[in-house]
Amino acid sequence: MRQTPLEILKTVFGFDGFRENQQKIIQTVLDGGDAFVLMPTGSGKSICYQIPSIILSGVGLVVSPLIALMQNQVEAMRQNGIRAAFLNSSLSLDESKQIERQVLNGQCDILYVAPERLFMERFQNFLVKIPIALFAIDEAHCVSQWGHDFRPEYLRLVEVTRRFPAVPRIALTATADSVTRKDIVDKLDLSAALQFVSSFDRPNINYQVKLKANGKKQLLEFIQNDHCSEAGIVYTRTRKRTDETARWLQDKGVNALPYHAGMDAQTRQHHQHRFLREDDIIIVATIAFGMGIDKPDVRFVAHLDLPSSMEAYYQETGRAGRNEQPADAWMVYSLADVVAMRRLLETSDGNAAFKRIKQQKLEALLGYCESATCRRQVLLGYFGEAYPEACGNCDTCRQEIETWDGSVAAQKALSCVYRTGQRFGAAHLTDVLAGNRTERVQQLRHDQLKTFGVGDGLSRIEWLSVFRQLLAGGFLTVDMGKISGFRLTEKSWPVLKGMQQVQLRKDPHPFKLKRSVKPSSRKVLEFEDEGETQLFEKLRLLRLEIARQLALPPYVVFHDKTLKEMAILKPQNRTAMLQVTGIGEQKLERYGDRFLDVIKE
């Protein structure tokens, strides 16, 4: 008699109960139905196709866009006793043939493949020879041009799945707004699929957005004060900036490594390998890094530059705190960043409809940055989820943000843009408004304009804040000509005519925020005495020793949360060890006695 999903969850994965929607999704697939699954990073999407693949006859075929994701997940599954394998370009022809023989002989329950491989003639012939239990399309947002990581080859996946109409399909993603969701369902022919949308809330993540003064120095202070000797990811926009930031942090004594697509593959892989296997590595990266990296103890994600959209921001920050322990999503931005993002949008390819959607996504991101209300409410609201109370775990909740009626200031700023010819940036416009007779102002005779000196009631910093917020709110855009200056938009005119009020945010004075004392909705384990702390450290050393012997990342042996439970519960035998979260029968057999020996000491 085959095991039930709950029995497999306990014996294989070591968990006592399912999370939100997991059991319903698994049952849908077991019943032969299709499913569209939207779950945040770290909430257990993979279990939704792993358990059905174990139960159903045949092999579960998982389409995944990145080699790193396949290798990490297959390593972790094998440690749990799951018969899993992958086929991708990292394997030789002989290695690929060996895995294919295992599948043909019924020795594999889950097979990961890259989307490109699905369309190779050799693999097409292989598919018709094997019983397929299910199709799992991971990172399904890659099928949508509105998603933040569009992959053209994902558009052809339906060509393969249609050839096997009796095989259930499950499409999974961690982030997609309503437009992207509709696109996924349409492009993958999942209109009849049951849709499961879990809460987007990651209550253990503390969200912070600061104005950029000196980004690298602010980042260093953040790391030294809050995350010394802890793992983290720093995102930058360009490869050059990635290299420079990593070198600068190294010079300051931080264990930082760069990662981007311009590096040679061997160095890039070596840096990723160190990040996965060491506890205190900080990766400085472009968005080329992180997708599919299942490192649970990343304590922070920092953005030195604005991400491309709210979806990208959510996906990238979601790589922090996957083990449900407190983590930080920290970002700095400036007027220059807003200008750069506007320029990218204006010069992007695509028709008017495409640019309109991208404009909406950019304004949502900038609105999040400028928000005076709870950031979690704004973030979740973007994905259509209501969050009725202030979260208490973001900077705007822990620091009162004031707003002011900036209607008159906005009129003066927009009028100055118009009267100077819509071709100058914030620095010159501020000089005109403040009445500064600089050489340039006099040369251009801008001291003769009606707007000259009308803004002496605000400081230079305050005027720069006004321009930043008008640009963020879409009341200004940037000129794409040889001289990059501000231009008015359709939204400018109601403000200029006094028909629309503008509320602006007072930029807060920078100070170190206290971490929220509001308890997370998920249990955070805390040690009660020094003995538990010392035992935890001894268990970590044993885990590191085992991981090095097996050439595995430490978290593949056991997560920190599992070790913490061991240190608190102190199981004295194998039966008690099975009650610890994250310990299934295979891991108990492999490692249990060694950890029990340390506990008994």
pLDDT band at 484 (very low <50, low <70, confident <90, very high): low
Tokens representing residue 294 in the block: 């299942």
Question: Mean pLDDT over residues 165-183, rounded?
Answer: 89
The answer to whether residue 339 is domain-embedded is no
Q: What is the dihedral of CA 536, 537, 538, 541, to 10 degrees?
A: 120
pLDDT value at residue 99: 92
pLDDT band at 515 (very low <50, low <70, confident <90, very high): very low
Domain count across the chain: 4
The answer to whether residue 134 is domain-embedded is yes
- Stated pTM of the model: 0.78
Range scoring the smallest mean pLDDT among 279-293, 301-315, 526-540: 279-293
Please determine, for residue 539, whether its predicted confidence score (pLDDT) is greater than 50: yes
Please determine, for residue 375, whether its predicted confidence score (pLDDT) is greater than 70: yes
pLDDT band at 148 (very low <50, low <70, confident <90, very high): low
Q: Residues 460, 400: contact at Cβ < 8 Å?
A: no
| More confidently predicted of 408 and 351 | 408
Last residue within a domain, chosen from 464, 489, 505: 505
pLDDT value at residue 516: 43
pLDDT band at 522 (very low <50, low <70, confident <90, very high): very low
CATH of residue 50's domain is: 3.40.50.300
Question: Mean pLDDT over residues 213-235, rounded?
Answer: 93
What does the DSSP 8-state code read for residue 10? I
Q: Residues 138, 83: contact at Cβ < 8 Å?
A: no
Partners of 282 in beta bridges:
232, 256
Structural domain for 120, as ranges: 5-197
Strand order in the sheet with 300-303: 205-211, 327-333, 300-303, 232-235, 282-285, 256-259
- Encode burial over 115-143: b for 16+ CB neighbours within 10 A, e otherwise: bebbeeeebeebeeebebbbbbbbbbbbb
- Do residues 479 and 546 share a domain? no
- 300 in the Ramachandran plot: left (φ > 0), alpha (ψ -120 to 50) or beta? beta
Last residue within a domain, chosen from 164, 197, 230: 197
Q: Hey, what amino acid is at 306?
A: L
Query: pLDDT for 304-355, tens place per residue?
Result: 999 988 888 998 998 898 888 899 999 999 888 888 887 777 777 777 777 7
Tokens representing residue 509 in the block: 């004075």
The answer to whether residue 585 is domain-embedded is yes
Q: Residues 384, 468: contact at Cβ < 8 Å?
A: no
CATH of residue 541's domain is: 1.10.150.80
Tokens representing residue 262 in the block: 């311009």
Q: What would the DSSP string read from start to end of 498-555?
A: TSS--EEEPPPPP-PPPPP-SPPSS------SHHHHHHHHHHHHHHHHHHHHHT--HH
Q: What's the distance, Cα to Cα, between the start and end of the chain in Å?
A: 41
> What are the phi and psi torsion angles at 135 (to 5°)?
-110, 125
Q: Hey, what amino acid is at 8?
A: I
- Do residues 494 and 556 share a domain? no
Question: Mean pLDDT over residues 548-563, rounded?
Answer: 87
DSSP run (H or E) holding 35:
strand 35-38
Q: Hey, what amino acid is at 440?
A: R
| More confidently predicted of 400 and 465 | 465
The answer to whether residue 322 is domain-embedded is yes
Query: pLDDT for 566-577, tens place per residue?
Result: 988 899 999 889
Last residue within a domain, chosen from 197, 229, 251: 197
Give dist(CA 491, CA 350) in Å, integer. 23
- Do residues 161 and 60 share a domain? yes
Tokens representing residue 35 in the block: 């499913």
- Average pLDDT of every residue of the chain: 87
Show contacts of 186-189: CB within 8 Å, 24+ apart.
187/143, 187/144, 187/154, 187/155, 187/158, 188/137, 188/140, 188/143, 188/157, 188/158, 188/161, 189/158, 189/161, 189/162
pLDDT value at residue 520: 41
Of the segments 118-132, 142-156, 513-527, which one has the largest average pLDDT value? 118-132
CATH of residue 494's domain is: 1.10.10.10
How large a percentage of the chain has pLDDT more than 90? Answer: 49
* CA–centroid distance for 295 within its chain: 13
- Do residues 388 and 437 share a domain? no
Question: Mean pLDDT over residues 591-596, rounded?
Answer: 91
Please determine, for residue 92, whether its predicted confidence score (pLDDT) is greater than 90: no
- Do residues 323 and 174 share a domain? no
pLDDT value at residue 322: 86
Identify which of 544, 521, 598 has the alpha carbon closest to the alpha carbon of residue 566. Answer: 598
Q: Residues 12, 81: contact at Cβ < 8 Å?
A: yes
pLDDT band at 135 (very low <50, low <70, confident <90, very high): very high
Please determine, for residue 518, whether its predicted confidence score (pLDDT) is greater than 80: no
Please determine, for residue 297, whether its predicted confidence score (pLDDT) is greater than 50: yes
pLDDT value at residue 528: 67
pLDDT value at residue 511: 46
The answer to whether residue 364 is domain-embedded is no
- Do residues 394 and 424 share a domain? no
Q: What is the dihedral of CA 458, 464, 467, 473, to 10 degrees?
A: -110
- Do residues 162 and 216 share a domain? no
- Do residues 500 and 559 share a domain? no
| More confidently predicted of 530 and 513 | 530
The answer to whether residue 340 is domain-embedded is no
CA distances from 17 to 10, 37, 565 (A): 8, 19, 16
The answer to whether residue 450 is domain-embedded is yes
pLDDT band at 1 (very low <50, low <70, confident <90, very high): low
Specify the 3-state DSSP secondary structure of 490.
coil
- Do residues 386 and 411 share a domain? no
- Do residues 234 and 261 share a domain? yes
- Do residues 15 and 153 share a domain? yes
How many Cβ atoms from other residues are within 10 Å of residue 573's Cβ? 10
Give dist(CA 16, CA 1) in Å, integer. 21
- Do residues 222 and 94 share a domain? no
Question: Mean pLDDT over residues 38-59, rounded?
Answer: 91
pLDDT value at residue 147: 60
Q: Residues 14, 582: contact at Cβ < 8 Å?
A: yes
Q: Residues 358, 331: contact at Cβ < 8 Å?
A: no
The answer to whether residue 359 is domain-embedded is no
Burial bucket for residue 152 (CB in 10 Å: 0-12, 13-18, 19+): exposed
| More confidently predicted of 498 and 152 | 498
Question: Mean pLDDT over residues 9-30, rounded?
Answer: 92
DSSP run (H or E) holding 196:
strand 194-197
Of the segments 49-53, 195-199, 371-375, 587-591, which one has the largest average pLDDT value? 49-53
Query: pLDDT for 388-397, tens place per residue?
Result: 889 999 998 9
pLDDT value at residue 171: 95
